Amino acid sequence: MKNLKISLTAIIFAIIVTIFTGVYAYTGLDVDTKYEISMPDSLTNGTGTVNAPVSEDMKYQFVEINKEKYDTLKKYEAQLELMQAYIKGEAASWEDSQANAEYEDLVSKYESTYNEKISDLYTQYTSIDSNSIATVRSLWIYELTDYNESNWKNSTDSKITLDLTTFTGTKYYIAWVKIGDTLDAEAYVVTGTKKDDPTPTDPTPDDPTPTDPTPDDPTPTDPTPDDPTPDDPKQEEPKQEEPKQEEPKQEEPKQEEPKQEEPKQESPKKEDPTDASNSGKVLPKTGVNSAILGLITIAGASAGISYRKYRKIK
């Protein structure tokens, strides 16, 4: 009972993950069971040719996958190819030199690609026969991402084509092919060839960028004759200097102020008694007054001294 609950829980979880991720594994077992369709090993410029007995009604589509799924599918394909070569060698008792050489090449390629000894692979199976091949093929089919029934494209020339110009970088796809009721699939890795959009450093003729302006582009780097931009010195210099020419006119009264004060500085010259231009009377008067005052002072001093001496004698 406990194991049943665990199993049901795992199944429900797987269903939820599948619904939300939108990735569905192919659950059918009718993938070219008779090996009637031969898919191309690789695509050249996104195109490959499918070999089939009848291809008039061939349809195809590409389903994108991730690198992990691509690697898993390719590993199962390598194991299938190894087992088929081993069975072929066993059937010939390893006396077919060509079959032996092909098998040895496949063994060397597998071990170098996946870093796994071929003996480790064979120990997973009781024997290498049709049953072991069917087991590996079932694992490969389980890893296939399902196709979309509404995305089929018709092909009348047995070719499948993927448009590489719609993306850049490396991508991984499964190509599904349908001929009548027979299905086949193959995983491919391709590189997109979409061209990058023009950058600002490489503008188109219609791109009015500053690096390559059009004749009608009024940019500062290429003004028109009627464009009064600051870069035209002939038109702007007179306008900029007009305020400078008016400034001296406003300051002229300030420069003449000292001239109005000159009479005040010369007024002492009119009162200078040493000025000989003042009628000649001032100099004699000044000299007499000074002499009289000097004699009076000396006489007074002498009288005072004589009076003191007289009193001492008396």
Would you say residue 263 has pLDDT above 50? Answer: no
Q: Output the average pLDDT for the chain.
A: 74
Task: Report the run of H or E that residue 212 belongs to, with start and end.
Answer: none
pLDDT band at residue 35 under the 50/70/90 scheme = confident
- Percent of the chain at pLDDT exceeding 70: 55
- Classify 240 as helix, strand or coil: helix
Distances (CA, A) of 114 to 38, 46, 82, 130, 148: 25, 26, 13, 23, 32
Tokens read off for 88 = 């072929």
Residue 117 amino acid letter: K
pLDDT band at residue 1 under the 50/70/90 scheme = very low
More confident residue, 155 or 5: 155
Would you say residue 194 has pLDDT above 60? Answer: yes
Distances (CA, A) of 275 to 42, 263, 272, 289: 127, 17, 6, 19
In-domain check, residue 151: yes
Beta strands in the chain (DSSP E): 47-49, 58-65, 153-155, 159-161, 168-179, 182-193
Q: Give the position of tokens 């087992």.
A: 83
Long-range contacts of 222-231 (CB under 8 A, 24+ apart): none
In-domain check, residue 7: no
Q: How many domains does the chain fold into?
A: 1
Please give the average per-residue pLDDT across 254-276, as a whole number: 48
Task: Report the run of H or E that residue 228 belongs to, with start and end.
Answer: none
Question: Alpha-carbon distance 74 to 65, whole Å?
Answer: 13
Please give the average per-residue pLDDT across 121-131, as a whole number: 90
- Look at residue 291 in the predicted model and tell me its pLDDT: 56
Question: Alpha-carbon distance 289 to 248, whole Å?
Answer: 57
Please give the average per-residue pLDDT across 221-249, as a whole number: 51
- Look at residue 33 in the predicted model and tell me its pLDDT: 75
- Look at residue 305 in the predicted model and tell me its pLDDT: 73
Long-range contacts of 99-104 (CB under 8 A, 24+ apart): none
Distances (CA, A) of 59 to 140, 259, 306: 22, 112, 163
In-domain check, residue 287: no
Name the pTM for this structure.
0.55
- Sorted by sequence, the CB contacts under 8 Å of residue 237 that are 6+ apart come out as none
Q: Which domain holds residue 49?
A: 25-193
- Look at residue 77 in the predicted model and tell me its pLDDT: 96
- Sorted by sequence, the CB contacts under 8 Å of residue 236 that are 6+ apart come out as 228, 230
- Look at residue 181 in the predicted model and tell me its pLDDT: 87
In-domain check, residue 200: no
Q: φ and ψ at 44, to 5 degrees?
A: -110, 115
Q: φ and ψ at 221, to 5 degrees?
A: -80, -20
Would you say residue 277 has pLDDT above 70? Answer: no
- CB contact at 8 A, 37 and 180: no
- Look at residue 166 in the predicted model and tell me its pLDDT: 95
Beta strands in 7-157 (DSSP E): 47-49, 58-65, 153-155
Find the length of the chain: 314
Residue 60 amino acid letter: Y
In-domain check, residue 117: yes
Q: Which residues pair with 165 in a beta bridge?
A: none
How many whole angstroms from its chain centre is CA 207?
21
More confident residue, 219 or 125: 125
In-domain check, residue 219: no
Residue 114 amino acid letter: Y
In-domain check, residue 19: no
Residue range 7-28, pLDDT digits in tens: 445 444 444 434 343 344 554 5
More confident residue, 137 or 258: 137
In-domain check, residue 64: yes
